[in-house]
């Protein structure tokens, strides 16, 4: 599903960026080689960030 229309970012790309260590929307944008445009996607992106811990946190919790 597209989350950011301005940058054509999908939820999968956002989740991949989070798995790669992104912890803030600006880090997600950087990981996807783009910048925030209108900001309408920020709320959805924050929800995804809260749902999915970064890979390092998941490994620590799983041990």
Give the whole-angstrom CA distance, residue 54 versus residue 5. 24
Looking at every residue in the chain, the average pLDDT score rounds to 89
Whether residue 44 has pLDDT greater than 80: yes
The rounded radius of gyration (Å) of the Cα atoms in the chain is 11
Model-level pTM greater than 0.85?
A: no
Asked whether 33 and 20 are in contact (CB, 8 A), the reply is no
| pLDDT over 80 (residue 26) | yes
DSSP state of 31: H
Average pLDDT over residues 36-44: 95
Share of the chain above pLDDT 70, in %: 86
Q: What is the set of domains in the chain, with CATH numbers? A: 2-62 (1.10.10.1100)
* CA dihedral over 50, 55, 57, 61, signed as positive or negative: positive
């Amino acid at each position: 599903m597209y989350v950011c229309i301005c940058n054509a970012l999908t939820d999968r790309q956002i989740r991949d960026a989070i798995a790669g260590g992104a912890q803030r929307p600006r880090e997600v944008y950087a990981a996807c080689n783009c910048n925030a445009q209108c900001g309408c996607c920020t709320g959805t992106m924050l929800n995804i960030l809260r749902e999915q811990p970064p890979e390092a946190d998941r490994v620590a919790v799983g041990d």
